[in-house]
Amino acid sequence: MSEIKTEENIIHRDFVEEMKTAYRDYSMSVIIARALPDVRDGLKPVQRRVLYAMEELGLYPDRAHRKCARIVGDTMGKYHPHGDSSIYEALVHMSEDYSMNLPLVDGHGNFGSIDGDSAAAMRYTEAKLSEGAMTLLKHLEDGLVEFDPNFDESETEPRVLPAMLPNLLINGTTGIAVGMATNIPPHNAGEVINGTIAYMDNPDITTDELMQYIPGPDFPTGGIITNGSDIKALYETGEGKIRVRARVEIEKGDSGRKNIVISEIPYTSSGSKTRMVEGLVNLMRDKTFEEIYDVRDESSKEGIRIVIEVKRDRDAQNLLNGLYKKSSLEDTYGACFLAVKDQQPYQFSLKRLLEEFVLFQEEIYTREYQFRLEKNRKRLEVVDGLIKAVDVIDAIIEVLRGSETIKQAKNCLMTGDTTDINFKTQKAKAQAMTFEFTERQADAILAMQLRKLVGLELKQLTDEQEELAKAIKECEKVLGSKKELHKVIKKQLLEFKEKFSAPRKTLIMDSEIKEYVVEEKIEELMVLVDRFGYVKTVDSAACQKAGDEALAEFVHVFPVRSDERVAVFSAEGGMYQVKVAQIPKARIKEKGTLLQNITKLGSEFPVLVMSYEAMFNSQLLFVTEGGLVKQVSGVEFDSNRAAIIATKLNDKDKVMAVIPLTEEQVLSGDTRVSLLTKKKVALQFLLSEIPEQKKGGKGVKGIGLSKDDKVAFAVVHDIKQQSATFEEKQFNLKKIRLRKRGLMGTKATLE
């Protein structure tokens, strides 16, 4: 039956006030219970609950891994009813060595990667606590921290973990709340411990003095901080920006190019390396940087290696300057030291963070030693009672045998009351009447085993008595002096330093990005060379409009870019090169300039003119008038010199043809070479029969020649092209000139 609404059960609230109250409550819930870490243990609630659930499951570093689904289930069911995906994400994050300097979870299975790959489903992965996590959970059972009821008051959970290591600074954290966000960068464990000890030695230490121990963040991905002078302001105010740059080197690559090799990426790209590489590829495809020849990711388990291949004759350092500005090779990390203290968010300076950690250490170590002191005192009370009991054991035995109930015997041990207890001897009764054991001692005596009567056991009790007395004295000493308490804290921190300290990964410096200079605009051109050796460059669009008839008079026609070079092979066995920029740009009908005017060709006759880039990526077939043939890789001619020897020649021999071979021709088993001599002797053989030699080789005999005969014509063709007679092919070749990239005058494609 529905409730009847009356004025008595209706609450009147102002809508604006209700919205304010509800939003404020929601905001504080997100800030305190979800998004921000506690300044003491550096953990957000979900992280703390995951670690505590794992501790309850006994998933210690020396134990076996357990399914993550079990961990997530326990965390969600007992402490964190906010969805399994967020809990699993928190667990996975705590296992990432590229996100944290000291991972808190030891993951087993696919936990994702720095590339941005997501972890496998929780039912497939396993985990346990790491050694680093134990620094936060140590002595949890000793009452060092307060426990609160969980969401349904069926369990209790720690309000904060007894962290004995400055986890907030070492691992850093990120969290977005309502109206505020935290972004604390990770630091080097050894440096943070040194800074903490320095603060304990001198609470009035300045930021400059602290930075001698903690010079700046130390990201697990390494990289370079390029605005080191701004770190002081960050440490003093708790807010600032850090410029993080990838660590790169410029190396010599293949094909005469230079490579920009990235070995460490910015921390801001941690977990999204693939996206960073894709951004570089897009810069190449969009021609934002035309200097980029290729981008490839060669990373492996050994480390990161991203290669940006720079085109030949381009300034790699200038390109790098541009990439720093246009890509994520350099990024800004916005730091904000925001954390929760006493259920309120505060922005801390570096010194304040260390101060809060030290205050927390004083609190938990005080509690630890109070716990030890109380435990040792209770045990000493028991040991004293057992030792005392050994001396009157006969009387105690008679008390036990003569008592009707345990309560009666215990009362006698504590008060000496022998009423209604039957004794065999009066001596035993007289001794029993003097008993004044404490309740704890009486309980221990009643539970005492007969083996305690052995002399060796008595010796162990007396030794334990001495050790307990020393331990109690030590606890009282620590609790009675702040200086002694700090000694204990420092000792533990130094042990952690020896265990977890690692060399600094991030370099700190001050470096401004140099201005990127846009190199001269690259043009797409065509090189035209006529039979008299006159050369010029023409705009590619103009050549397309002119058509094949206008280009028929030119012996060499091939495309180039304005930043490339042109290679010229001569009949005398030389190779000469010239920059495209040195070749005059003209119209198709204009004459141009002689090759001899812009190269060191001199009086030598050019047999092949082609793009240096095409030559470099080709296989070349050399044919001499004396009938020698050889294949040479274009890489052999890589040189910055204006003139080199391309092949060795016998006396009075000359290069008749240099023919660029396509990859299909080299790999095909059907490619043939046909030679025709001046006296019309023809010979045909497979291209694969011609060996590959260095440029210093003379070649092998391709055709036998009679006296006064020489090779006059050479062609590379497919076996299917043999239907016509050789003379017919030669006749037709004189009539047509198919223009292709890198074709020489005596070589053409058969119909």
Task: Give me the active site residues, please.
Answer: 124
Judge contact between 106 and 263, C-beta under 8 A. Answer: no
Asked whether the CA dihedral 727, 729, 730, 734 is positive or negative, the reply is: positive
Cα 192 to Cα 500: distance, rounded to the nearest angstrom: 11
Nearest to 634 by CA among 564, 699, 692: 692
Angle between helices 393-402 and 406-415 (to 10 degrees): 140
* Residue owning tokens 């077939």: 621
Cα 125 to Cα 348: distance, rounded to the nearest angstrom: 37
Going by the DSSP 8-state scheme, the letter that residue 687 receives in this structure is G
Q: Which residues contact 424 (CB under 8 A, 6 or more apart)?
A: 398, 402
Q: What phi and psi, each to the nearest 5 degrees, are found at residue 473? A: -65, -40
Judge contact between 308 and 259, C-beta under 8 A. Answer: yes
For residue 714, the one-letter residue type is A
Angle between helices 350-391 and 189-201 (to 10 degrees): 80
Q: What is the largest CA-CA distance in the chain?
A: 147
Going by the DSSP 8-state scheme, the letter that residue 707 receives in this structure is T
Pull the structure tokens for residue 311: 């085109």
Pull the structure tokens for residue 55: 């501790």
Asked whether the CA dihedral 287, 290, 291, 293 is positive or negative, the reply is: positive
Helix, strand, coil percentages (3-state) for the chain, rounded to 5, are: 40, 20, 40
Q: What phi and psi, each to the nearest 5 degrees, are found at residue 240? A: 175, 180
Pull the structure tokens for residue 273: 């390396």
- Strand bridging mode 671-677 / 711-718: antiparallel
* Residue owning tokens 């010079």: 215
Strand, helix or coil at 647?
A: coil
* Residue owning tokens 């790959």: 117
* Residue owning tokens 């308490």: 485
The kind and range of the H/E element at 745 are none
Strand, helix or coil at 686?
A: strand
Pull the structure tokens for residue 309: 């291949």
- C-alpha 198 chain-centroid distance: 31
- C-alpha 385 chain-centroid distance: 61
Q: Which residues contact 39 (CB under 8 A, 6 or more apart)?
A: 168, 339, 340, 341, 346, 348, 353, 356, 357
- Strand bridging mode 239-245 / 344-347: unpaired
Pull the structure tokens for residue 615: 């030559």
Judge contact between 64 and 100, C-beta under 8 A. Answer: no
The kind and range of the H/E element at 394 are helix 393-402
Cα 7 to Cα 10: distance, rounded to the nearest angstrom: 5
Q: Which residues contact 460 (CB under 8 A, 6 or more apart)?
A: none
